[in-house]
Amino acid sequence: MPTRRLPPTRQATESAAADAAALRTAREQRDAEVRGVASIAAMRDAIKAAARALPVLADVPCTGALDAAAFRARAAQGLPFLMRGAAARWPLAALTVQSLREHYSDLPVRARVGDYVGTAFAPDRAMQDMSLLAYLDLVAAGTQGLPPYLGNLELRALNRLCHWPNFFDKMGPPRFWLGPAGTVTPLHCDYDDNIFAQLWGSKRICLAPPHHDEFLYPSEANAILFGSPFDPEAPDYERFPLARQAAVIDCTVGPGDMLYVPAGWYHQVRSLTFSLSSNRWARAVPLALGNR
């Protein structure tokens, strides 16, 4: 006869909640120390306050490649911009899918599978561990619904093929994003400056400013990451009427392009073709805040 499991007592539930709150507080304190700010909440508020003075963009401005000084001066304005061809000469940009099969087939990866859009900010999002070769075979076989996606992976074997400029004083490790057309990272914001390099293929990226979170129904995944259920590519204004007021713009990033996404800017990313991208987040006070 199977053992019947009793529901947790009130005391156990309260203890678990207290432990979770303590872990969250400790993480936020570590995040604040790494970035050199008094608190993450204060940093978020400062980012949104600064954004209220920004001009409304009709589209994402474009430049060529910039050196570190020119990049920082432009980023201090607090607006996204696209640097055409800035990563075109990276060795990784010259590789192909066949190159990955031949030289990196045994690389361990973790694929997003199933409804990874609907569960994007849930702790139990469906993931599947496999080799890079198995992932490429899975993509080649085709699937119904969302195609499997390698997202936000630290693939150190590929790092040496990237030539990241020193745009930020402190940068997190490169993260890699690989998948066919139709892979999606749903609307969200990170409260860190972000430099995004498109290496193969093209992606559509929708953006909205930080202070328009009041129109985007966000929920907190952690102190640095907030997700939105609103889809700017297929807007449902009956469910999300306030989203009509959000100033959403979009751009297409192509091979060799680099996009600067300032801290707090909401963004949604969709692969238009088979695509390889990499990004790095700053681990410092956002450039738009200057010395504040």
Q: What is the pLDDT along the chain (292 residues), one digit of tens a residue?
A: 566 667 777 766 666 666 677 788 888 899 999 999 999 999 999 999 999 999 999 999 999 999 999 999 999 999 999 999 999 999 999 999 999 999 999 999 999 999 999 999 887 788 999 999 999 999 999 888 899 999 999 999 999 999 999 999 999 999 999 999 999 999 999 999 999 999 999 999 999 999 999 999 999 999 999 999 999 999 999 999 999 999 999 999 999 999 999 999 999 999 999 999 999 999 999 999 985 5
Q: Please give the pLDDT value at position 16.
A: 65
Residue recorded with tokens 């990196």: 104
Extended strands (E) in 180-253:
184-190, 194-200, 203-208, 219-220, 225-227, 249-253
Q: Please give the pLDDT value at position 22.
A: 79
Predicted TM-score of the model (pTM)? 0.91
Query: ∠ at Cα 163 (97, 182), nearest 5°?
Result: 40
Q: Please give the pLDDT value at position 25.
A: 83
- Cα 223 to Cα 166: distance, rounded to the nearest angstrom: 26
- Cα 286 to Cα 292: distance, rounded to the nearest angstrom: 10
Q: Please give the pLDDT value at position 63.
A: 97
- Backbone torsions φ then ψ of 161, nearest 5 degrees: -95, 10
Q: Please give the pLDDT value at position 291.
A: 59
